[in-house]
Structure 1
Amino acid sequence: MGRSSLADTPLLKVSRPVSACSRCRTAKVKCDNKLPACTACERAGREKECTAANDQFARGKERSYVAALELRIEKLERRLAYARSTKASVALHGPEEPPAPDPNRKDSMAFIRAAIHRKAARTQENADINTLVSDFGYLAVNTTTRDFEPSESNMTFARLVLAASTNEPVPEPRTTTLPAEPTARTLVQHYETNILPLYPAFPAATLHALVSDLYQDPPRPTRSSENWLFWMVLAIASAAQSRTRQDEHYANAVEFVGRALPHADRALKPGYVTQIQSLLLLTQFAMLDPAHFDSWHPIGFACRAVVDQGLHQDPPQVQEVEPEALDTRRRTFYCVYALDRAISMVHARAFSFYDAATSVSLPSPAKAGAISPALSSGSTTKPPPDSSLPLFKLRQLQSDWYQALYQGDPTDPLPDAASFIWQKYFAMWEWSERLPADLPPAIREMLDLELRYSYVYCIASSARGAQLTSYARLLIFEHVVSYVDRIHEVANNAANGAFYTYHDALRVFFMGSQFVAVLRDDADLLLSGAHVPPPATAPGV
């Protein structure tokens, strides 16, 4: 599958005919399906009556979402062409005034004017692409039709996802052979130990069986979704061990992603749980490699797939579902939920869906050996507890106060906001007190960092929150200092055993900005070490 310029030249030509409009069908004349009204209706002056023959779409809506999207793509291409021509015109002709003695100076009019036009062109291009992506909300109706079967002449769901998510094209792979089996198993083990316990979207046994099948002689034929799983796990595990963009781990990660992308059309095919799992893997890699992918779009598509497949609601009680299948379904939902909440908060954006729209119980704790088969096969070592449940519970607590403080109407302050904030603070403290004592140390440290970040985020000044008190500033000051000390140790530990991504760099920036803000407002008090009594509205914190 070509990946070099998906956003510039999307494959959107669709030749499938669509239904005639109701008027042409009644008159038994040929309908050319032109939008917003066909030629026959235009000639008869009946444009407003040109609607679908059935009631699938309301009056005024397009009969064919594919044709509508083709028209929008054409408009966007014209806009992009105009923006690029404007940019080229500025570069060729320059300013009307005589050139400055040094045209490369950053304060020259030529430089400033060219920069303004470049920024305007980029802004318009980004806005056009975002508008296009938002219009694909109509696709939920027909994402399983043959319009989305892979071919060389149409748009598939995978191509849409990659076009929206790609920041920089992934280079073509340098080889077509499998990596050495010990290398693959080492990377799978890293993923299984450090990432899968937090986001168990699929069983670890599936990974090990897949590796065995690929390296047996002769190898078992594998499906596209299995190939995507194998290569993306290798890519994520390799990128997670990278320390610089130029090191061997990063180069291998990009190579593995290049091997996965040809399988995207089938792996991301709508209507299957494998689609959600594949989107989760793409999201995880995007969190590690923002140069090539933007994590915001794949997690948004994953949330849409979860809703389309009904995983945001538990099955009705009258419907008998095997307990293991129900837990698998719930784990898949909460993996998407947890990543959506984390990504939305770090980018200060709205969640993909509200908690009120969901009704999914937490899954049962993973059985011993379910996460790490290596430990259950002849080993006397006690398997670690399920690390995903504490993370899912923390995301629920974060989601509760984030929706109230940051997603509500900013012109409508919360009633008794101070009490609300301290109640949520105390609920997170209680969560930390209930963490299993035998959690892996690296994961426990990661959860503690998440907790301190959540404390500061919840207390920090917001449009609907309460005015910061001296006690709140003191708490922010202490949590930030502790957070920075520990994240510094993590950054300098070459063998950290948890899932740290570039989002943690964004969290560090947020914590630093809050630290500067409280110091600016109350430096004398914070640096003096004086005791500050908690407010009456703060429960035992």
Structure 2
Amino acid sequence: MHRSSLADSPLLKVSRPVSACSRCRSAKVKCDNKLPACTACERAGREKECTAANDQFARGKERSYVAALELRIEKLERRLSYARSTKDSVALHGPDEPPVATNSGRKDSMAFIRAAIHRKAARTQENADINTLVSDFGYLAVNTTTRDFEPSESNMTFARLVLAASTNEPVPEPRTTSLPAESAARALVQLYETRVLPLYPAFPGASLHALVSDLYQEHPRSIRSSEYWLFWMVLAIGSAAQSRSRQDEHYTNAVEFVGRALPHADRALKPGYVTQVQSLLLLTQYSMLDPAHFDSWHPIGFTCRAVVDQGLHQDPPHTQQMDQNALDARRRTFYCVYALDRAISMVHARAFSFYDDAVSVAFPSPGQANGIPSGGPIAKPSPDASVALFRLRQSQSDWYQALYQGNPTEPVPDATSFIWQKCFEMWEWSERLPADIPAAIREMLDLELRYSYVYCIASSARGAQMSAYGRLLIFEHAISYMDRIYDTANLAVNAAFYTYHDALRVFFIGSQFVAVLRDAGDLLLSGSPIPMPPSAPGKVSPPPQPVRLDRGTGDNLDRSLRCLDRVKLTLRLYGDRWEDALSLMESFETISSEVWKNLTTRRAMRNAAATGQWQPLPVA
């Protein structure tokens, strides 16, 4: 046959199959490779074992490439279906619910395992969240400039958060809904002006008088919640400042006024406004007078957060034109917060809410504290002592951060010279106090100065070892402080802003006095002169000994016993007003008992020797 004819008429033959199915191969029977199942498997009812969708064929001898792809696709689809069913099972059950039973045991078992892992992770995260919230509550990361805290019956507003954190005991419901007599209201406003506003002028006194006039008009204008809060909190602070006992009328009225202010808290403490900072300041000031109902540590923390969020801790840029009066008002508001934060942190031995490095605010211009124009309700406004207080707080902040807030394993370089330098700066501050400051406020500032001397010189983790001269300075300043605070506490009326924190200061001064007597009692009680240590070249010399104001009242032994006694008497007197002061007195009696016993024994021996009733034992 010619080649051309073979090409035109090819010989058609059936190709031999690549491989028989596994059943035919094992049975050694002929397989016709019929799809979807061969005839032999079909007759035996084993069609599923003879399909292209299974893996019963020897690798490398698959029936066809297409069949191999189909097999691979089906395997992948099965895996994908299993993964989806497992995911859906865990998602539908939730982390704390068991999965619904299914027919596939292994799948359900895996779902249980995964659900258990999710539950454990959820519980761990929940515990971590709760611990973080509790431990960091004082620094709660709430943006206080956000104005979405709208009050309602069911949601948590910023004010309710502040009050929940700050309240020690709930304030009783008000007994009345009427305003107090106008004369009584104006008397309390005037008291606030003379005792508090000269030190913390967060708002002008003229606005207080204008508000009182508006409230007592026959047809008053519409009064905002922040103004009601201002009115009632000023009355509460003025009344509490006059209190001498937890049972007297002044304290009862103060709690009543606070109860009248609280319904306005949601609007008064609304974030994003300067009125929020002013309202928080008033809450802080009242909490310093009423620790039974409020803890001052939390309100001042929230106030500092509001100040930072509103940018009051930085002066506006020079490119921003601002009226000088408005700028001074802004600066006064900031430094009122700054001064209270430093005072509260130091008396509680805690860290400041923000460091001085973050502050860039100039001092406000000196002026009248209440800003009442001539012809106002008060003919002569009280002189402004606030700038002097702000400067002292800045000096306190400097050495307190260095000596008490740094790393205790890294002492302050040349700590002794550093302490003498800070004492000299505080002495310079006292010499520059304005001459027209009222006597009561000057006395309060002098107590602050002596308290600062003792605090700065006292032993600290980062300070130098205290010298005998340093102990002598603490000895003299502590006696002077106690003599004056004792007299002040016994006055029928205090003309300055004294709070529960003064009880804490008395306890601190008494504790430091006991410490120096325990460490160097023989030297201090002997009355022997202790020379001033020489100063290093180019360094400030140590401060001189303070002038004694109690000459003629006995030797150092008598002075020491009187000082210890006055610590306890002052704390007992404050205990009538603040119950926590009684706990301080009990603690002081415990820590001073050994020193007290030693001093009384010394005095008995001295008195016996002076009267000739005591004779030393003969030497054997």
What amino acid does structure 2 have at the position aligned with 1:514?
Q
Tell me the residue number matched to 2:169: 168
Displacement of 1:42 in angstroms is 7.8
- Contact 2:339–2:393 (Cα < 8 Å) also in 1: yes
5+ residue gaps, structure 1, are 1-38, 48-70, 80-126
Name the CA shift for 1:427/1:467 in 2 (closer, same or farther; >3 Å).
same
In 2, Cα distance between the equivalents of 1:418 and 1:364? 35
| Aligned-partner Cα distance in 2 for 1:282–1:427 | 32
The amino acid across from 2:509 in the alignment is M
Q: Equivalents in 1 of 2:313, 2:156: separation in Å? A: 27
**Structure 1 residue 315 displacement after superposition:** 0.4
Aligned to 2:284: 283
What TM-score do you get using the length of structure 2 for normalisation?
0.65
Cα distance change on mapping 1:132 and 1:515 into 2, 3 Å = closer
2:372 matched to 1:373? Answer: yes
Q: Counterparts of 1:141-540 in structure 2 under 5 Å?
A: 144-146=146-148, 148-367=149-368, 371=370, 373=372, 377=376, 383-537=381-535, 539=541
Please provide the CA RMSD for this pair. 2.5
Shift of 1:384: 4.3
Cα distance change of structure 1 residues 277 and 169 upon mapping to structure 2, 3 Å threshold: same
Kept in 2: contact 1:225–1:263 (CA 8 A): yes
Deviation per residue, 1:370-393 (Å, 9 max, x gap): 626387649875x54321010000
Give CA deviations for 1:83-107 in whole Å, capped at 9, x if unaligned. Answer: xxxxxxxxxxxxxxxxxxxxxxxxx
How far apart in 2 are the matches of 1:288 and 1:343? 12
Q: 1:136 is aligned with what amino acid?
A: L
For residue 496 of structure 1, report the CA deviation from its aligned partner: 1.4
Corresponding residue SS for 1:175: coil
- d(CA) in 2 for partners of 1:153 and 1:220? 30
Question: Is the 8 Å Cα contact of residues 192 and 372 (structure 1) preserved in structure 2?
Answer: no
Deviates more, 1:451-460 or 1:518-527: 518-527
1:105 is aligned to none
**Cα distance, 1:136 vs structure 2:** 3.1
CA deviation string 1:337-380 (max 9, x = no partner): 0000000000000000000001000000124xx62638764987
SS at match of 1:373: coil
Deviations 1:202-234 (A, max 9, x none): 000000000000001012220000000000000
What is the distance in 2 between the residues matched to 1:315 and 1:40?
Answer: 56
Q: Which has the larger radius of gyration?
A: 2
2:42 corresponds in structure 1 to none
Asked if structure 2 preserves the Cα contact closer than 8 Å seen for 1:477 and 1:515, the reply is yes
Letter in 2 for 1:273: V
In structure 2, the CA distance between the partners of 1:410 and 1:272, relative to structure 1 (3 Å rule), is: same
Moved over 6 A (4+): 39-42
Contact 1:193 1:372 survives alignment (8 Å):
no
CA distance in 1, matches of 2:139, 2:437: 44
Residue pair 2:147, 2:270 contacting (<8 A) in 1 also: no
Q: Does the C-alpha gap of structure 1 residues 207 and 389 become closer, same or farther in structure 2, counting only changes over 3 Å?
A: same
Deviations 1:286-328 (A, max 9, x none): 0000000000000000000000000000000111010000000
Distance in 2 separating the partners of 1:362 and 1:376: 29
After TM superposition, give the deviation of residue 539 of structure 1 in Å. Answer: 1.8
TM-score normalised by structure 1 residue count:
0.75
The separation in 2 between residues aligned to 1:464 and 1:507, in whole angstroms, is 22
Equivalent pair of 1:384/1:438 in contact (CA under 8 Å): no
Q: Is residue 137 of structure 2 the alignment partner of residue 133 of structure 1?
A: yes
Which residue in the other structure is 1:90 paired with?
none
Secondary structure at the counterpart of residue 140 of structure 2:
helix
- Partners of 2:377 and 2:169 in 1: CA distance: 46
Of the structure 1 ranges 219-228 and 338-347, higher mean CA displacement relative to structure 2 is found in: 219-228
- CA offsets per residue over residues 382-419 of structure 1, 9 Å max, x none? x5432101000000000000000000000111110000
Which one-letter code corresponds to 2:176 in the other structure? T
Contact 1:385–1:436 at 8 Å: present in 2 too?
Answer: no
Shift in Å, 1:531: 1.5
Counterpart in the other structure of 1:123: none
- Checking the alignment, whether the CA contact within 8 Å between 1:296 and 1:343 is kept in structure 2 is yes
- Aligned identity (percent) is 73
Q: Partners of 1:379 and 1:248 in 2: how far apart?
A: 26
Aligned length: 423
Amino acid at match of 1:450: E
Residue 26 (structure 1) aligns with: none
User: Deviation per CA, 1:478-518, whole angstroms, max 9, x where unpaired?
Assistant: 00000000000110001110000000000000000000000
Query: Kindly tell me: are residues 450 and 135 of structure 1, through their superposed partners in 2, closer, same or farther at Cα, counting changes over 3 Å?
Result: closer
Specify the code of the residue in structure 1 equivalent to 2:146: T
Q: CA deviation at 1:420?
A: 0.3
Give SS of 1:189's match: helix
Assess if the C-alpha contact under 8 Å between 2:532 and 2:542 holds in 1: no
Distance (Å, rounded) in 2 between the aligned partners of 1:43 and 1:380: 75
